[in-house]
Amino acid sequence: MKPISLKIVNFGPFKDEFIDFTRFYEQSLFLITGPTGCGKTTIFDAMSFALFGTTSGGERSPETMRSDFAGPKDKTYVEFVFEHQGVEYTIYRSPKYQLAHKKTAEKQTVCLSYQHHGEMVTIEKVPEAGVKIHELLHLTAKQFLQIILLPQTKFQQFLLSNSNEKEAILRELFDSSLYQKWVDDLQLKLKGQEGNFAQVEQQIQNLQAQIEGVEDKELPPVQARSEWLKVVNGLLTAQKELLKDHQTSLQQLQKQQTQLTQQVTQEESLQANFEKLILIEKEQAKLAEKTEQMAQLALQVADLQWVQKQQVAINTYQQAQQQTDTLKNTLKELQTEARNIEQNAELLKEQEQELTNQKEEMVFLKQEVTLLAAKEPSYQQVDKLSKLYQQQNNRLTQEQEILTTENTRLAELEEAQTEYLKQQSIQSEKLTQQQIRLQEITEKRQATSKLYEKWESTLVKKNSLQKQQKQREQELRELSQQLSEQKEALQVVNDNWLQQQIVSLASQLSDNAPCPVCGSTEHPCLAQPTNNEQVSEQDVTTLQEICQQLTEQQVALEAVFTSEARRFQDYQEQEQNLVDKLGECYQIVTPVMSERIQQAYQDEGQQQTTYQQAEQVTKELLIEIQQQLEQVMQDKQQAEADVKQRTDVVQNLNQEMLQTKGHLAALQSELPAEYGDLASLQKAIRSKEQQLQVYEQKVEEYQKAEKHNTELQISNETQQNKLKEEQITVANTLETMHTKLENEIDAQKRINDIAMLLTLSQNVVQLEKLSVELTSYQQAVHDAEKQQQIYQELIAGKVKPDIAKTKSVLSQIEDSVKQQQDITNQQSNLILNNEKILAKIVMLEEQNQADELQLRKLKQLVDAVKGRNSDVRLGLEKYVLQQSFEKVLEIASLQLKRLSQGRYWFVLDKTMRKKTTLTGLEINVYDDNFGKERSVKTLSGGESFKAALALALALGEVIQAENGGVMIEALFIDEGFGSLDQDSLQLALETLQTLQASQRLVGVISHVEELKEQIPAQIQITTKDGRSQIGYQLEF
């Protein structure tokens, strides 16, 4: 989580302030400074409230943070924008507070928004926003205040927290819950497999109880299950023998049943033949009743068939009758149309007379239109001259206005020319003074630059040499430590080698022989071999050479260190001489400090740059004034030419208007008085032309109507003649067909006349239906006679059977078969069921044997990851947390050694690891001054601050390096630096400044003056009338 911005409105002493944290991204370390009570800690309160709804210290509730100066309608809220894993989040939160003009309090509101897959996601419910923040940061509000935002008086809270509290925080930071989840999953899997094992065992016992035929119902133990299986297999063999006997009896009964079934089938077939013959005889009686009806139907069919043959002649006769009627009607319609044509001819004669009467009037009107049209060009000329006169008048007005404007501009340009000449004189004098002052500053700058550059070079060399000395000092300590260790090893090896020599000499002594050392002939206490490692003289020589080499290296390194120390002293003296000279140049009163010289040199350079810039600005201004002056003079000349030209144009326009006005008056005197203008004349011409067009249109319509009426009269006469000829042809055809049909009727004899023939022809459509009905009857009579003969042959010489008696015997046999079948099925099902149960028991028994082995292995694994296999009872997650925390302590120890100048480093409290109630995360410090561990709770205030700072920095470094860990990209510290001495404060600052490379943002609240001087990036809070304002200092 990395802060981007913070907006605070009516919250604490802030009215409406905005903090932009991105200004400090490049420097990483910044200071929050201001007088006591100005609201420095309120900034931390605002961030904590935005994220979790609580303040940083915990002593103040969010409801009390509303500003006293907030108006009745003013809102109180905090808006915090931060970045996490590449996504920008904005959270807005307003506390619960009471407004003076409302009875009910304003509820706490929240709005968390961010982009997800290109869409804006918004969360406005307080619980849901809290869940999302916890998902992002993996921290509660309390843990956030222990790891990222360290409030005043609680900076050492994580350092001094107990093991369980550390475990809760580290679990979230290192996301170690997956290890506990894995352990829980294993535990759940073990519980499930144990349940499955017990369930399978219970299934086996239930299946054993379901075996039928076992006399001993008491279930055997698991160990005796194999003997029980042998008993059950013997039982199954006996049950199968009994099943064979039941199957034999069933087969005999089924054979009798088959024979009786066949007999019943034969008797039922014979009985059906007797009954079928009776039905056929009844059908023959019904057909005999329809004989007379069918004879009439046969005559009707014969008549219709004859009529069907005459159908062509009948159709021709009927068509001739229809054509005769149609021709009569059409001829009647044509005669009516001829009378209408004659009436139209009379009306056209009257219209012709009316048009002849209007012809003379139209000739006169046409002549009048021609005369008026001849006057139209004169009217157009008058109209054109009127418009020209108006245009000339408008243009004259415009030109006069332009002339006035140009005179005004000419006067303005004259005034501007005077003003630019005055400014040119002033700036020239100013430039001369600036050039004199710049020359003085440049000469002084050249004199001091050489001294300053030499001083800087000396300072760089001195600092470089100082770093080399620190490195040499560290190398000397390491070499000294290495030499000491090698000397100790040499002493041990040499002692072992001497001991071996003594043992070897002692083994060569014999009784009464003098000892080569003391001369004694008695040897009561001979040296005995030890369990020490065997060494050779070469081993001793090798270690002696190593010690000699290390000693030589140490001497050489000490000589280099001494030489560098002398060079460092020379650089210091040279630096002091240069500082004194620069102090004289810049008139700095003793003591002369490097910072004051750097500031004076920078001020001098800034002053030179300022005068150079001012000189350049003045030069540019003079150039600009000269350019503007030249432009004004050019504009003035152009304006004078424009005024002269515009005056000539106005005079020419006045002359043109007089000429146009005289010509217009002459033309208007020649035009008729009744038409005032061209529009009136054109309107009169159009009216007369419309009258002429109406007359000509009437003449044309009359001519068309007369021609059309004549054509209709000729067409009507032609059609009447044609219809009369068709009537004669159709009458001849009708007569011919009439004679032919009467001849056919006379030959047929059963049809009386043509009217009866036409009636029958309408019934021909029923001929097919009637024919089918007659044919069906005849076929039914034939089929009945044939069926009667067949069934008489089938029952010839046979007696009607007694089916009921035979079925009674069959029913008895079927009952016996069913009973025997049930007994057989029951026995077969019993055997089948027992076999299935036995197979399941065998399968489950084999499965349980395999599962029991897996269950034992899983239980051993669960015991191992839950720490049940040792006295420490250290589970997997706790082990992972210890390893991660040891990484943190390893890095924190490096920081703490640096801050405590090598006195302290962190160690885990080994005694706590054997306490099952704790997680093994208690920490101590090793005190190098006393050579033993001590509790962090015994450290002084300044020492506790150093330890807490080292631990907080290490936490951030390790967690960001862990894959999947919480991203801690910011650290905020409220006070604590006041408890440090000067050296410790400098070390703490250097430690915090090393975080710049890791891009970790560190904000510090402090009143310590040294921090204000050494941390240039600052948020400066000022207060006035109870309200605080935010300012920035970003200079370096």
Over the stretch 801-846, which tens digit does the pLDDT of each residue have? 888 888 888 888 888 889 988 888 988 888 888 888 888 888 887 7
Cβ atoms 2, 970 nearer than 8 A: yes
Q: Compute the average pLDDT of residues 862-867.
A: 74
Ramachandran region of residue 962, left (φ > 0), alpha (ψ -120 to 50) or beta?
A: beta
Each residue's pLDDT tens digit, 722-766: 888 888 888 888 888 888 878 877 777 777 787 787 787 788 788
Cβ atoms 448, 605 nearer than 8 A: no
Euclidean distance between CA atoms 80 and 48, whole angstroms: 10
Residue 962 has pLDDT above 70, yes or no: no
Residue 662 has pLDDT above 90, yes or no: no
pLDDT of residue 520: 65
Instruction: For the beta carbon of residue 925, count every other beta carbon within 10 angstroms.
Output: 22
Q: Compute the average pLDDT of residues 521-541.
A: 72
Instruction: Kindly give, in sequence order, each residue whose CB lies less than 8 Å from that of residue 719, ignoring residues fewer than 6 positions away.
Output: 334
Q: Which of 931, 969, 936 is nearest to 950 (CA)?
A: 936
Tokens (6 digits) for 956: 């951030």
What spatial distance separates the first Cα and last Cα of the chain, rounded to whole Å?
Answer: 27
Euclidean distance between CA atoms 902 and 896, whole angstroms: 8
Cβ atoms 920, 913 nearer than 8 A: yes
The arrangement of strands across the sheet holding 932-935 comes to 904-908, 923-927, 932-935
Instruction: Kindly give, in sequence order, each residue whose CB lies less than 8 Å from that of residue 820, ignoring residues fewer than 6 positions away.
Output: 246, 249, 250, 253
Residue 98 has pLDDT above 60, yes or no: yes
Residue 112 has pLDDT above 90, yes or no: yes
Q: Which amino acid is at 108?
A: Q
Euclidean distance between CA atoms 91 and 75, whole angstroms: 16
Least confident of 627-636, 663-672, 883-892: 663-672
Euclidean distance between CA atoms 91 and 136, whole angstroms: 13
Secondary structure (3-state) at 818:
helix
Give the pairing of strands 109-116 and 923-927: unpaired
Cα-flanking dihedrals φ and ψ of residue 90, to 5°? -125, 120
Residue 222 has pLDDT above 60, yes or no: no
Banded pLDDT at 175 (limits 50, 70, 90) = low
Q: Which of 697, 700, 674, 698 is nearest to 368 (CA)?
A: 674
Radius of gyration of the chain (CA): 66
Tokens (6 digits) for 1013: 């001087």
Euclidean distance between CA atoms 705 and 351, whole angstroms: 11
Residue 996 has pLDDT above 80, yes or no: no
Euclidean distance between CA atoms 833 and 243, whole angstroms: 14
Q: Which amino acid is at 358?
A: Q
Cα-flanking dihedrals φ and ψ of residue 704, to 5°? -65, -40
Instruction: For the beta carbon of residue 18, count every other beta carbon within 10 angstroms.
Output: 12
Greater model confidence, 457 or 156: 457
Cα-flanking dihedrals φ and ψ of residue 3, to 5°? -65, 145
Give the global pTM.
Answer: 0.38
Ramachandran region of residue 29, left (φ > 0), alpha (ψ -120 to 50) or beta?
A: beta
pLDDT of residue 914: 45
Cβ atoms 147, 169 nearer than 8 A: yes
Euclidean distance between CA atoms 962 and 880, whole angstroms: 12
Least confident of 192-201, 941-950, 985-994: 985-994
Euclidean distance between CA atoms 452 and 465, whole angstroms: 20
Regarding the domain delimited by 2-148+968-1033, which CATH topology (the fold level of the hierarchy) does it fall under?
A: Rossmann fold (3.40.50)
Each residue's pLDDT tens digit, 644-653: 888 888 888 8
Euclidean distance between CA atoms 600 and 585, whole angstroms: 10
Greater model confidence, 590 or 530: 530
Helix, strand, coil distribution of the chain in percent, nearest 5? 70, 10, 20
- Kindly state the helix (H) or strand (E) to which residue 1018 belongs, with its residue range: strand 1018-1024
Q: What stretches of 531-593 show up as alpha helix (H) in DSSP?
A: 537-586
Residue 404 has pLDDT above 80, yes or no: yes
Q: Compute the average pLDDT of residues 705-709.
A: 86
The DSSP 8-state label assigned to residue 107 in this structure reads P
The arrangement of strands across the sheet holding 1001-1005 comes to 119-123, 109-116, 87-94, 77-84, 2-11, 14-20, 1027-1033, 1018-1024, 29-33, 1001-1005, 970-974, 149-150
Sign of CA dihedral 618, 619, 622, 627: negative
Least confident of 100-104, 191-195, 680-684, 792-796: 100-104
Residue 153 has pLDDT above 60, yes or no: no
Banded pLDDT at 109 (limits 50, 70, 90) = very high
pLDDT of residue 124: 92
Cβ atoms 943, 906 nearer than 8 A: no
Best-predicted range by mean pLDDT (132-146, 356-370, 587-601, 1021-1035): 1021-1035
Cβ atoms 201, 848 nearer than 8 A: yes
Residue 510 has pLDDT above 80, yes or no: no
Q: What angle do CA 791, 797, 798 make, to 5 degrees?
A: 80
Q: Kindly tell me the burial class for residue 881, based on how many C-beta atoms sit within 10 Å of its own C-beta (0-12, 13-18, 19 or more).
A: buried
Return the residue matching tokens 């529009």.
679
Residue 953 has pLDDT above 80, yes or no: no
Q: Which residues pair with 9 in a beta bridge?
A: 16, 77
Cβ atoms 197, 858 nearer than 8 A: no
Euclidean distance between CA atoms 748 and 333, whole angstroms: 43
Give the pairing of strands 119-123 and 109-116: antiparallel
pLDDT of residue 7: 96
Instruction: Kindly give, in sequence order, each residue whose CB lies less than 8 Å from that of residue 972, ignoring residues fewer than 6 positions away.
Output: 44, 47, 148, 149, 150, 1002, 1003, 1004, 1005
Cα 249 from chain centroid?
79
Q: Compute the average pLDDT of residues 899-920.
A: 70
Euclidean distance between CA atoms 261 and 719, whole angstroms: 95
Return the residue matching tokens 């210290």.
57
Instruction: Kindly give, in sequence order, each residue whose CB lies less than 8 Å from that of residue 863, ignoring residues fewer than 6 positions away.
Output: 869
Cα 616 from chain centroid?
56
Cα 406 from chain centroid?
67
Mean pLDDT of the chain: 80
pLDDT of residue 1036: 47
Cβ atoms 452, 601 nearer than 8 A: yes
Domain ranges of the chain: 2-148+968-1033
Please report, rounded to a whole number, the percentage of residues in the chain having pLDDT higher than 70: 88
Euclidean distance between CA atoms 149 and 40, whole angstroms: 13
